[in-house]
Amino acid sequence: MSTVSLQHIKKTYEGNVTAVHDFNLEIADKEFIVLVGPSGCGKSTTLRMIAGLEDITDGDMFIDDTRVNDVEPKDRDIAMVFQNYALYPHMSVYENMAFALKLRKMPKDEIDKAVRQAAEILDITTYLDRKPKALSGGQRQRVAIGRAIVRNPKVFLMDEPLSNLDAKLRNQMRAEIIKLRQRIDTTFVYVTHDQTEAMTLGDRIVIMKDGLVQQIGTPQEVFDHPYNQFVAGFIGTPQMNFYQAQLVKEGDKYAVKLADATVVLSDEKQANLAKNNVQSQAITLGVRPEHITLEKTTAGTVSGTVGVSEMMGSSIYLHVTACEKDTVIIVQTRDLEGDYLKDFAANATIQFSFPGNVCHLFDPKTELNLEG
Ligand SMILES: Nc1ncnc2c1ncn2[C@@H]1O[C@H](COP(=O)(O)OP(=O)(O)OP(=O)(O)O)[C@@H](O)[C@H]1O
């Protein structure tokens, strides 16, 4: 059992910078939690408070049933992997991995067993005698993870462990971490600014901005039901488009009005808006590029002029200036039939519609999702 409970956690650094405000999270045993957000949002500070490397200004932190606010890092039974590996250069891979266990005065044969088992899991057995400088970046990162695994910690903390690796290696190591997770039964807290890493690794992800939690949920929940415009824009690539529009309530039915087009909302959206007693108002309509449909007719559709078209192989990203609002939006289309190079060339005019079942409606002032 290794649960972590953060209750009203706050961190104010000297000089009065509040890096984390009222952070609340119950991490379940063996759960993989990812803290994600832009630079400076407070994710490393939160992780370092769990590790015990930063004092907690206010609130309570528990690992299992023990309040750990004042427990030394070495007594918390956690292991942390950093972005810059921090391997000892003069020690071999084996010695690097064995070091913490030697300090604990673990018997030699047990150390050997733990190191070899971790090396096996990480596929680094053949490098055990090498020094770190004779390893690639990916291999060094595996050793850093191995050094943490051998300690068999209650909680595994990782702070941007892949950010020093090139894109290809990062993808490989991401898959390795998923495998690792299946093999070692531990609770993970993982920090990244990369939403793809967050989406692919997390059981739940915590999206932060300016020291405040914006939303906590499964990857699917935060993708399908973002609480606010920030989460909507942060999660998903290419980014969600935002378009100024008008929500109109006629009788008990809602519709989104654009200059030349109307978006008919699904029954579920109608019900959510009614439940929140939303009235007619200006809105920011959020639509993901992959959800926009190209249309052949100008009647009842939005028109736009193609600026740039990016061929991605199986689809094209069209950067389109919508005539009505002069707003640039990205349309992703897989419609590669016919003379698409000409149809989607720069300055071509295209028509499209926004879907009424997978769009999002935000209040332009509060930026909150009107569906709640
Ligand atoms: N030791 C410190 N003293 C004062 N302010 C600090 C200290 N460490 C961090 N901060 C501030 O706290 C805020 C949060 O920093 P933190 O490192 O937790 O963010 P982050 O989300 O991990 O960012 P990054 O992705 O850039 O590492 C920032 O405004 C940062 O400048």
Distance CA 350, CA 244 (A): 19
Whether ligand 1 lies within 6 angstroms of the CB of 193 is answered as yes
Residue bearing the CA closest to ligand 1, atom 6: 13
> Which CATH number is correct for 238-362, 2.30.130.10, 1.10.1040.50, 2.40.50.140, 2.60.40.10?
2.40.50.140
ipTM of the complex in this document: 0.97
**Whether the model pTM is above 0.90:** yes
- DSSP character at residue 290: G
- Token look-up 């015990």 returns 52
> Is the C-beta atom of 178 inside 6 A of ligand 1?
no
Gap from CA of 168 to ligand 1 centroid (Å): 28
**8 Å CB contact between 279 and 273:** no
Confidence band for 243, pLDDT divided at 50, 70 and 90: very high
State the Cα torsion 213-292-265-360 to the nearest 10°: 10
- Rounded CA separation 50/39 (Å): 19
The length of the chain in residues reads 372
pLDDT, tens digit, 9 for 90 and up, residues 65-122: 999 999 999 899 999 988 777 899 999 999 999 998 999 899 999 999 999 999 988 8
Residue 356: how many CB atoms within 10 A of its CB? Answer: 17
Rounded distance from Cα 196 to ligand 1 centre (Å): 22
- For residue 111 the two structure tokens come to 């150390």
Instruction: Look at ligand 1, atom 17, and give the residue with the nearest C-alpha.
Output: 44
Most confident of the ranges 163-167, 331-335, 342-346, 363-367: 363-367
Write phi, then psi, for 28 (nearest 5 degrees).
-80, 160
SS3 100: helix
pLDDT surpasses 70 at 325? no
Q: Please report the pLDDT score of residue 305 as a whole number.
A: 95
Residue 45 CA to ligand 1 centre (angstroms): 6
Which residues of the chain are in CATH 2.40.50.140 domains? 238-362
If you average pLDDT over residues 229-258, what whole number do you get?
95
Residue 123 banded pLDDT, cuts 50, 70, 90: confident
Of the candidate CATH numbers 3.40.50.970, 3.30.365.10, 3.40.50.300, 3.40.190.10, the domain formed by 4-233 belongs to 3.40.50.300
Locus of tokens 């600026």? 307
Average pLDDT estimate for 273-286: 96
38 Cα: distance to centroid of ligand 1 (angstroms): 11
pLDDT of residue 137: 84
Q: How far is CA 81 from CA 57, 111, 140, 156, 188, in A?
A: 24, 20, 12, 8, 11
Across the chain, mean pLDDT equals 93
**Percent of the residues in the chain that have a pLDDT greater than 90, as a whole number:** 77
Between CA 361 and CA 290 the distance in angstroms is 17
Strand-pair partners of 78: 155
Location of each CATH 3.40.50.300 domain in the chain: 4-233
Amino acid at 77: D
Query: What's the pLDDT at 121?
Result: 85
93-103 vs 108-122: helix crossing angle, rounded to 10: 130
Give CA–CA dist 11/45, Å, rounded.
Answer: 8
* Mutation probe of ligand 1 site: the residue of 9, 10, 12, 13 with most atoms within 8 A of C-beta: 13
Q: Which atom of ligand 1 is nearest to the CA of 45?
A: 18
pLDDT digits (tens, 9 = 90+) for 180-206: 888 888 999 999 999 999 999 999 999
